[in-house]
Chains A and B, each alone.
Chain A
Amino acid sequence: MFYGQVKDSIASTFLVAHYDYTCRTSDNKGENHIVNYGLTLQVAQDMACTMGQKRHNGENDKNEQLLYVPTTWQNHPEGKITSVETIPPYRYLTTEKMAEIKWTLLIERDTICGLPCQKATGTYGGRAWTAWFTEKLPTRFGPWRLGGLPGLIVRAVSADSIHRFECSKVEPTKEAITYTVPEGIVKSARAKFVKLRNRIFGNPNYVSNPSYYIKPAEIESMAVIKGMVVLGGTPIDMKPAKFQPLDF
Chain B
Amino acid sequence: MTRFWFILLLLVAPLRAVNAQTQIISVSGQARCGTEKVVGALVTMLQPTDSSIVAYATTDKQGLYTLKATIQLSEVLLSISGFNIKRKTTRIKAHSQTFDFHVEEENKTLREVVIKSQKLWGNRDTLNYFVSAYTRGKDRSIGDVLQKLPGITIENNGVIKYQGTPINHFYIENLDMLQGRYNLATQGIKAEDVATVQVLENHEHIRSRQDQTPSERAAINLKLKDKVKGIWSKSANLGAGHNFDESLWEAMLQAMYFGKSKQHMLRYSGDNLGRSQEMGTDHYGFSSEGNSRMVSLVEHSSPPIGNGLFGYRHSINLNNLAKLSDSITINYNFNYSHNLASGHSFSQITYLLPNGEKQLLMEDIADRTHTHSANVQLIYEKNLQHRYLKNALSLWGRWNEGRGDIRSAHQNQLSMLNGTGGESSISQALHYRSLGMSNRTHWVHRTAKGGGFEWTSTNRVSTTPQTLIIGGERRAHQDIEITSISTINGFSLLRNLRTRKWTLSTSGNLNTSYTILTSALAHPNIPVAPHGDMNHLRSSVDLGPVAQYTSGAFQSKLSVPIALTYTALNNAVVEGEETDAHRLRLYLQPSFSLQWKATDYLTFNANAHYSASETPWRMLLTANVMQNYRSLSRYRATLDNSYGAGTHFKVAFKDIFTSMFAHLEGSWQRSWSDIAYGTTLDAQAHTIVEATYMPNHSNRYILTAYGRKDIDWHTLQIELSATRSWGKSEMLRQSVLTTYRTTGYALRGTLSFDIVSGYRLDYRSTWQRQRSTAPQHTFTHDELNQRAELSLRLWPSRLFLNLHASHTHNNSLTSERKDYLFIGSSLQFKLSKKVEFNLNGDNLTNIRSYSSRSIGDMENFYSEYYLRPLSITLTAHI
Name the contact of B115 in the complex, choosing from A15, A45, A149, A176 (C-beta under 8 A): A176
Contact partners of A5 in chain B: CB under 8 A = 600, 657
Judge whether B82 is part of the interface by a CB distance below 8 angstroms: yes
Q: Which of B117-125, B264-272, B379-387 contacts A (4 or more CB under 8 A)?
A: B117-125
Interface centre among B39, B53, B128, B657 (most CB of A within 10 A): B53
A173/B81 in contact, CB under 8 A? no
Contact B42–A139 (Cβ < 8 Å): yes
Contact indicator B111/A173 (Cβ below 8 Å): yes
B83 touches A138 (CB 8 A): yes
Specify which of A8, A175, A176 is in contact with B123 (CB 8 Å cutoff).
A8
A224 within 8 A of B: no
Asked whether, in the complex, the Cβ of A138 is within 8 Å of the Cβ of B53, the reply is no
Is the beta-carbon distance between A151 and B42 smaller than 8 angstroms?
A: yes
- Check A45–B121 contact: CB distance below 8 A: no
Is B110 a contact of A105 with CB atoms below 8 Å? no
* In the complex, A107 has a CB within 8 A of chain B: yes
Minimal Cβ-Cβ distance residue in A for B118: A176
C-alpha gap A15/B113 in the complex (Å)? 11
Please indicate the chain A residues that have their CB under 8 angstroms from the CB of B600 in the complex.
Answer: 5-6
Chain A: interface residue total (CB-CB under 8 A): 26
Which residues of B90-135 have CB atoms within 8 Å of chain A's CB atoms? 108, 110-113, 115, 117-118, 121-124, 128
Contact assessment for B123 and A173 in the assembled complex, using a CB-CB cutoff below 8 Å: no
Q: Is the CB–CB distance between B41 and A118 below 8 Å?
A: no
Given contacts A7-B121, A107-B52, A174 and B113 within 8 Å (CB-CB): yes
Could you say which residues of chain B place their CB within 8 Å of the CB of A176?
Answer: 115, 117-118, 121
What are the residues of chain B within 8 A of A15 when measuring CB–CB? 83
Within 8 Å CB of B44, what residues of A?
135, 150
Residue A91 lies at the interface, judged by CB distance under 8 Å to chain B? no
- Contacting pair A138 B128 (CB below 8 A): no
**Alpha-carbon gap, A9 to B600, bound state (A):** 17
* CB neighbours of A45 from chain B (8 A): 39-40, 82-84
Interface string of A127-163 (1 = CB under 8 A from B): 0000000010011100000000111000000000000
Restricting to A1-56, which residues have a CB under 8 Å from any CB of B?
A: 5-9, 14-15, 45-46
Instruction: Assess the B41–A173 pair: CB atoms within 8 A.
Output: no
B812 at the interface (CB under 8 A from A): no
CA of A7 to CA of B127, assembled, Å: 11
Known: A6-B600, A9-B121, A150-B53. A138 touches B41 (CB 8 A): yes
A173, B121: Cα distance in complex, Å: 20
Q: Is the pair B110, A178 in contact by a Cβ cutoff of 8 Å? A: no
Whether the pair B52, A105 counts as a contact (CB closer than 8 A) is: yes
CB-CB under 8 A from A171, the residues of chain B are 111
A138 touches B81 (CB 8 A): yes
| Beta-carbon contact of B83 and A140 below 8 Å | no
Q: A172 in the interface, Cβ–Cβ < 8 Å?
A: yes
Write the chain A residue with the least CB distance to B82: A138
Residue of B nearest to A7 (CB): B121
B260 CB to closest chain A CB (Å) equals 17
CB distance from A146 to the nearest CB of B (A): 15
Are B39 and A178 interface neighbours, CB within 8 A? no
Query: B103 CB to closest chain A CB, in angstroms?
Result: 12
- CB-CB nearest in chain A for B111: A173
A104 vs B622: C-alpha distance when bound (angstroms): 95
| B60 CB, nearest partner CB in chain A, Å | 10
**Cβ contact within 8 Å between A150 and B39:** no
CB distance from A116 to the nearest CB of B (A): 11
- Is there a chain A Cβ closer than 8 Å to B58's Cβ? yes
Residues on B with C-beta less than 8 A from A150 are 42, 44, 53, 56
Determine the distance from Cα of A14 to Cα of B113 in the docked complex, in whole angstroms.
Answer: 11
For the complex, what is the distance from the CA of A121 to the CA of B100, rounded to whole Å? 30
Q: A15-B83, A138-B82, A150-B56 are in contact. Are A173 and B42 (CB under 8 A)?
A: no
CA distance A219 to B874 in the complex (A): 72
Q: What's the minimum C-beta distance from A121 to chain B, rounded to whole angstroms?
A: 14
B113 and A175 contact, CB distance less than 8 A = yes
Known: A5-B657, A46-B40, A140-B58. A172 touches B121 (CB 8 A): no
Residue of B with least CB distance to A183: B600
CA distance A138 to B113 in the complex (A): 21
Residue of B nearest to A45 (CB): B40
Residues in chain A near residue B42, CB distance under 8 A: 135, 138-140, 150-151
- Across the interface, name the chain B residue whose C-beta is closest to A4: B600
A14-B83, A140-B42 in contact; A6/B123 too (CB < 8 A)? yes
Q: Which residues of A contact B123 (CB under 8 A)?
A: 6, 8
Q: How far is the CB of A13 from chain B (nearest CB, A)?
A: 8
Q: Would you give 19 A-B contacts (Cβ < 8 Å), ordered by A? A: A5-B600, A6-B124, A6-B600, A7-B121, A9-B128, A14-B83, A14-B84, A45-B82, A45-B84, A46-B40, A118-B53, A135-B44, A135-B81, A138-B81, A138-B83, A173-B111, A175-B112, A176-B117, A176-B118
B residues touching A (Cβ–Cβ < 8 Å)?
39-42, 44, 52-53, 56, 58, 81-84, 87, 108, 110-113, 115, 117-118, 121-124, 128, 600, 657
Query: A residues engaging B (CB < 8 A)?
Result: 5-9, 14-15, 45-46, 105, 107, 118, 135, 138-140, 149-151, 171-176, 178
